[in-house]
Amino acid sequence: MPTLTIDVSALKHNTHLIQKLAANAAVIAVLKNNGYGLGLVPFASFLQEEGISHFAVTELCDALALRGCGIRGHILLLTPLYEFDELIDAIQNNIELCISGPASARAAQDAAIYMNCSAVPVQLCIDTGFGRFGFSVDNVKKIQDTLETMSCLKLCGIFSHLYASACKNSSAVRKQFSSFERLCTTLTEHGVSIGMRHISSSSSLLRFPEMNLDGVRIGSAFLGRVAVRDSFGFQEVCCLRALISEIRTLPMGHNVGYGNSFRLKHPTITAVTDAGYAHGLGMKHSHFPGNHVCPILYILRRLRQSLTIRAPFARYQNRKLPVLGQICMNSTILDATGCHLQVGDTVSFPVNPVYVDSRIKRNYLISQTEPTC
């Protein structure tokens, strides 16, 4: 069975670099999707040991799992809750609730009254243009009216989400930031203690340090996978390790894999691994253009991206072994010509851990004597 190996030294390097770039702002570690694939609890435990005390998740079950495994710091739920039983669980475990409108405020208030709590921690979610959750940034009156109903809730923060922080044109980001700052100033002038302000993400941390405010929400940068030009020295932290299950010698012209799409140009020694796309190999995010994006521009953008895609490979003893044909569900075929591989040897694949099945074992590599990815 393949394993996802996390290089602790690289993860520490990235974490310390993020803390340095955040300067006086708190680092809020976003742990959605199984801690960006690094394993929710072990990743959070690692970050806590490195001095991170603020965490954010999108699922209540993740917040409860963190509390149950000894995460002591602030845990913010980035999505609103409405179910009474879920709100009770969140309050009992000191989870900071997301207030995205009057309805979520009423639901949290009712649960707080039932629990006889007078200071349940909450944060305001503001929509500055993303269109997902939150009060409209322009509707100050609705925000103020909602705040007046929150007698049992304690406001400890306010946040929004940037939707174009990795785009070359920064005008949308600056417009969002400006409107968010203006709202924060207005609320403060009306006597509202808004607590921690945060809007910045991994990309904006690198591009717009002036937007750090009181906190920065970081996810992919911990992994060393940033969507903008990296001039800071982030390191990729993980690889998928797989066993060689078969060695064969195939003649020139032999088909390899599905689709009749790849034939060997010369006699080749092939190695079959026990990892495939079911384990995360070859998987990537695909942007659906939607109904209002110019299809020609979308196609041109995808063509340009295709020119920069690296051919998939595995690594064995610092040697790259190209992938032959299409990646299968549970196996991948490699060109092992000239490489002294044997059945049972281990190769490693660069992989985005977000796509690695949560059932795959996560191995945090601490020993300096073992090879890293």
Q: Which two tokens stand for residue 108?
A: 């949290």
pLDDT of 3-24, one tens digit each?
999 999 999 999 999 999 999 9
Distances from the Cα of 214 to the Cα of 164, 195, 301, 311, 332, angstroms: 20, 9, 35, 41, 46
The set of residues, in sequence order, having a beta carbon less than 8 Å from that of 285 and lying 6+ positions away, is: none
Does residue 67 have a pLDDT over 80? yes
Distance CA 153, CA 159 (A): 17
Distance CA 362, CA 4 (A): 5
Q: Report yes or no: 82 and 97 within 8 Å, Cβ to Cβ.
A: no
**Looking at residues 233-245, what average pLDDT do you find?**
96
- Predicted confidence at residue 307, as pLDDT, reads 44
Distance CA 173, CA 161 (A): 10
- Predicted confidence at residue 288, as pLDDT, reads 55
DSSP letter at 187 equals: H
Domains and CATH numbers, the chain: 7-223 (3.20.20.10), 238-351 (2.40.37.10)
Does residue 306 have a pLDDT over 50? no
- Predicted confidence at residue 79, as pLDDT, reads 97
- Predicted confidence at residue 228, as pLDDT, reads 87
**Looking at residues 348-356, what average pLDDT do you find?**
94
- Predicted confidence at residue 369, as pLDDT, reads 44
Residue 168: which pLDDT band, with cuts at 50, 70 and 90?
confident
Does residue 132 have a pLDDT over 90? yes
Arithmetic mean of pLDDT over the chain: 92
H or E segment and range at residue 5: strand 3-7
- Percentage with pLDDT > 70 across the chain: 91
**Looking at residues 79-90, what average pLDDT do you find?**
98
- Predicted confidence at residue 304, as pLDDT, reads 54
Does residue 229 have a pLDDT over 90? no
**Looking at residues 351-358, what average pLDDT do you find?**
93
pLDDT of 276-303, one tens digit each?
999 999 877 655 555 555 566 555 555 5
Decide the pairing of beta strands 238-250 and 3-7. antiparallel
pLDDT of 119-131, one tens digit each?
999 999 999 999 9
Q: Among 29-38, 222-231, 307-316, whose mean pLDDT is lowest?
A: 307-316
Residue 101: which pLDDT band, with cuts at 50, 70 and 90?
very high
Token pair 């299968």 is found at: 328
Decide the pairing of beta strands 153-159 and 135-136. unpaired
Residue 177: which pLDDT band, with cuts at 50, 70 and 90?
very high
Does residue 170 have a pLDDT over 50? yes
Does residue 162 have a pLDDT over 80? yes
- Predicted confidence at residue 61, as pLDDT, reads 98
Distance CA 62, CA 214 (A): 24
One-letter amino acid at 126 equals I
